[in-house]
Amino acid sequence: MPAKSKAQQKAAGAALSAKRGDTSKSELKGASKEMYDSMSEKELEEMASTKRKGKPEHKSKD
């Protein structure tokens, strides 16, 4: 599942970093904290590796 916005991609990267032990889980906030708890490392990796080019900063609320 690719990220739909730059903010979502960054949050996935932060959660992935914590999941791998590179950063502390206590440093996570908001969406990245939720992603850490609800997604697998593989799902986070897929979302974090999404290319940012052409993505909006934040996903519009449709």
Q: Residues 10-58: pLDDT tens digits? A: 999 999 999 999 999 999 999 999 999 999 999 999 999 988 787 778 7
For the chain, the domains span 6-48
- pLDDT, residue 15, reads 96
For residue 29, the tally of other CB atoms under 10 A from its CB is 10
- pLDDT, residue 29, reads 95
Q: Name which residue leads in pLDDT, 52 or 9.
A: 9
> CB neighbours of 52 closer than 8 A, spacing ≥ 6?
6, 9
Confidence of residue 59 (pLDDT cuts 50, 70, 90): confident
